[in-house]
Amino acid sequence: MKNIYLMLTCLAIAGCSREQPPAREPAPARKARSAAPAKETDHRPVIVAFGDSLSAGFGADPGQSYPDFVQKELDQRGYPYRVVNAGISGDTTTDGLERIHTVTGLQPAVAILEFGGNDGLRGLPVTTTRANLEQMIVALQKAGAKVVLAGMTLPPNYGPDYIREFEKIYKDLAAKYKLPFIPFLLEGVVGVPGMMQPDGIHATVKGNEVVARLVMRSLKPLL
């Protein structure tokens, strides 16, 4: 919890508030992309990293997002999967729901679902975030994907009641749909020197490597 609160302090300093939502990437950059180059004839099962800037690798050079490092881990361990990065910076759960059909169209074997941080920072109703995440989970499962749910938390200035209800979204949905659950995607990254970018929100390259290892612990039983 100490690390989580350090992150929350950084978030507050960074100035992300309900009045100042994180900026989204320019339109040309807002598209799903493979975490590693793949030929059109690549028929390996797909693992899709579906989320916002934390999945997209905001602030990191191409090839250095956490999905890129997951691909490297898979390759090194001999798992024949192709990771597709479907993260778009600035996306809320509503944005994710709007493009869910693009993701299910990939026919992923596994989906790492990472949304909600931007909802919380904008103070959106918890009921909306919950409903959107649930619809995405159902759609992904209907498409045959195994879903790994990644949770998030918020700065303390959002109030204990709102934060408690926000965090409860992930716990409840993971229990209801029996999903592999990562309570906090940035666990082991926040508060560690060199792991976070100056904005206090996004992981550095080293941080993304740590996130990838955390994600791999939930992925391995599904492969």
Would you name the residues annotated as active-site residues?
Answer: 53, 199, 202
Contact between 154 and 9 (Cβ < 8 Å): no
CA 24 to chain centroid, in Å, comes to: 15
Residue from 156, 35, 149 nearest 84 by CA? 35
Q: Report the number of secondary-structure helices (H) and strands (E) in the chain.
A: 9, 6
**Token digits of residue 71:** 């691909």
H or E element at residue 47? strand 46-51
H or E element at residue 74? helix 66-77
Those residues whose C-beta lies under 8 Å from the C-beta of residue 168, and which sit 6 or more positions away, are none
Contact between 150 and 136 (Cβ < 8 Å): no
CA–CA distances in Å: residue 35 to residues 38, 86, 207:
9, 9, 17
Those residues whose C-beta lies under 8 Å from the C-beta of residue 198, and which sit 6 or more positions away, are none
